[in-house]
Amino acid sequence: MNEGKRLHGATVVIMLLTRLKDFIIPIIFVFFVGATGGGIGLFATVALPLLFIFSAVYSLLYWLTYWYRVEDQELHVKQGIFVKKHRYIQRKRVQSFDMSAGILQRMFGLVKVQIETAGGGSEPDVHLIALDRAEAERLRQTLLANPEVTAEDGEVEPAEMTEWEEPETIEPEIEASWSLGFKHLLFAGMTSGGVGLVLSAVLALFSQVDVLLPDAFYETTVGFFLSSTIAFLLFAVFLIAFFAWLISIVITIVKYGQFTVIKRGNDLVISRGLLERKQLTLNVHRITAVRFVTGILRQPFGFTTIYVESKGGGRADEQQSTILVPLVNRRMANDVLGKFLPEFVVEDEVGIKPLPRRALIRYMIRAVVPILVVAVPLSFVLPFGAYALLFVLLGIFLGWARHRNGGFNVSGNYLILQWRLFNLNRAVIPRKRIQAADVTQSPLQRWRRLSTYSVSILSSMSGKSFEIRDITAGRGEDLLAWYSKEGVTPEFSREGEKEKSLI
């Protein structure tokens, strides 16, 4: 049997440098710890060379034993140094083709390719570390070219091909394109909300720094802060938060810089990133839902983010979803979405059916109880801990906002769900993409004549569910009938209607 093709020879160097990069933090830590324990000489003269040699040999063997080829409508991959692994992936099962170029790949003018199938798990099914860009493009066209889609279920069937016959290689013309300008990119960074994550990372880092600091310096620094005034401490906290905010802006710019999305035939090609250039190809027929997410900081300015749920292609840092448009004015969102996915456009005039008033107390309880669990013990333990009880007011407001912004509706064959945790979410889900629908009712909901309606769709990994809590029991049954009996249109006239969605 033909072994196929190897990865580019630079794979050995890229793997070696990647492994050394992964070890850089432990190496620095051991250097500092070793400096206090007298073991740095042994570490530098024995452990480091052994680590380098082991990584180099492993990278070389990995490259020698990794083969891939496309044959008989399938992608064949053979790998494994000691345990041999053969993987066969049918072309019609390929859900996404992710092509990116990190710093190491850029050094050699190469790209990294990740291929996913539905249900492939949290990791890509195929991970090609380094390919020539032309070879990556040829592979992408071979795996994704000429899909024929059945109108009913969206399953993709491959075009007729014989063994070793090359598919049509002519790229379809660009039908639509959109790019994120620098002003919007900067605004996206300023309102990303990532400052919380950066601040958490900074605090976690500082919690470990005391191990590396000399005892005298640590005690002097801590003593200085403990003896400082409240005004100085508040100023210090403000400075830390400010720098965390600046870092989050830089992270957003690096992550979403040069963001573009184009549509070629049935493919959406999403490119982004300044340091690591990523390019993801999604088939529009594999998209199962669209979500509009409006952050708290962006809502007053009328901006939102458009996500797509698809069978493959989701990213872990985006909760297994894919960002189609990072930032767009809400008034223009449907126009932009209509360029790429016109079938998902549901006009604002459709409106959202509000939640019943008797559900308000349940939303407030769910928001306030977690705060009480933390604030009450703090009020007994800390000298000024009683002030933590003021956050109960924030919980009450949050519960009210979640109830006020929650809702649902049906527009033809599309289900619309709207909810808020902190950010405001609105999902548009085609009926034919819903895998299952459920109505559940707890004893307390039964007493209040309420229910929870949830739907499941195929997405990256095993799938994703959306739900709306505490709708009236009758509306839950209406939505269930709409899903199970095509042609049934729920009658919501008895409920009040919000005139317009907030997002």
Q: What is the mean pLDDT of residues 68-85?
A: 84
**H or E stretch at 450:** strand 450-457
Strands 74-79 and 260-264 turn out to be unpaired
Taking 90 as the threshold, does the pLDDT of residue 468 lie above it? yes
Confirm if 244 and 199 have CB atoms less than 8 A apart: yes
| C-alpha distances in Å from residue 364, one per residue of 273, 389, 391, 395 | 40, 15, 13, 7
Q: What is the mean pLDDT of residues 54-65?
A: 89
19 φψ region: left (φ > 0), alpha (ψ -120 to 50), beta (else): alpha
| C-alpha distances in Å from residue 484, one per residue of 42, 401, 436 | 70, 32, 9
At residue 408, the pLDDT reads 92
| C-alpha distances in Å from residue 330, one per residue of 114, 169, 287 | 33, 38, 21
Q: Going by C-beta distance under 8 Å and a sequence separation of 6 or more, which residues neighbour residue 101?
A: 110, 111, 112, 276, 277, 278
What is the DSSP track for 388-403?
GGGHHHHHHHHHHHHH
Q: What is the DSSP letter of 211?
A: T
Report the alpha-carbon distance of residue 15 to residue 127 in Å, rounded: 12
Taking 90 as the threshold, does the pLDDT of residue 172 lie above it? no
The dihedral over CA atoms of 12, 13, 19, 20, expressed in degrees to the nearest 10, equals 150
Report the alpha-carbon distance of residue 350 to residue 87 in Å, rounded: 47
Taking 80 as the threshold, does the pLDDT of residue 146 lie above it? no
pLDDT-wise least confident of 45-59, 71-85, 304-318, 332-346 = 304-318
> Which residue did the predictor score with more confidence, 154 or 225?
225
At residue 366, the pLDDT reads 93
Confirm if 269 and 87 have CB atoms less than 8 A apart: no
Confirm if 259 and 271 have CB atoms less than 8 A apart: yes
Kindly list the domain boundaries of the chain, sorted by start residue.
5-145, 172-272+312-345, 360-398
Report the alpha-carbon distance of residue 349 to residue 408 in Å, rounded: 13
Buried b vs exposed e over 25-51: b needs ≥16 C-beta within 10 Å? eeeeebeeebeeeeeeeebeeeeeeeb
Closest-CA residue to 315 (of 285, 258, 272, 267) = 272
Closest-CA residue to 407 (of 496, 325, 345) = 496
Report the alpha-carbon distance of residue 70 to residue 72 in Å, rounded: 7
Structure-token pair, residue 318: 């985006």
At residue 496, the pLDDT reads 47
Phi, psi at 474, each rounded to 5°? -65, -40
Q: What is the DSSP letter of 418?
A: E
Report the alpha-carbon distance of residue 432 to residue 416 in Å, rounded: 14
Gyration radius of the chain's alpha carbons: 27
Taking 60 as the threshold, does the pLDDT of residue 160 lie above it? no
- pLDDT tier at 261 (50, 70, 90 boundaries)? very high
Report the alpha-carbon distance of residue 52 to residue 23 in Å, rounded: 10
Mean pLDDT across the chain, nearest whole number? 80
Q: What is the largest CA-CA distance in the chain?
A: 80
Q: Going by C-beta distance under 8 Å and a sequence separation of 6 or more, which residues neighbour residue 181?
A: none
Taking 60 as the threshold, does the pLDDT of residue 328 lie above it? yes
Q: Going by C-beta distance under 8 Å and a sequence separation of 6 or more, which residues neighbour residue 330?
A: 292, 294, 302, 303, 304, 503
Q: What is the mean pLDDT of residues 226-248?
A: 78
Write the secondary structure of 26-84 as one string of H (helix), E (strand) and C (coil): HHHHHHHHHHHHCCHHHHHHHHHHHHHHHHHHHHHHHHHCCEEEEECCEEEEEECCCCC
Neighbours of 275 (CB within 10 A): 11
What is the DSSP track for 122-177?
SS-SEEEEEEEHHHHHHHHHHHHSS-EE-TTT--EEPPP--TT-----PPPPEEEE
Over the stretch 88-120, which tens digit does the pLDDT of each residue have? 888 877 877 888 888 888 888 888 898 887 655
Phi, psi at 103, each rounded to 5°? -60, -40
Say if residue 475 is exposed, middle or buried (CB neighbours under 10 Å; 0-12, 13-18, 19+).
Answer: buried
Report the alpha-carbon distance of residue 470 to residue 447 in Å, rounded: 12
Report the alpha-carbon distance of residue 11 to residue 18 in Å, rounded: 10
pTM over 0.85: no
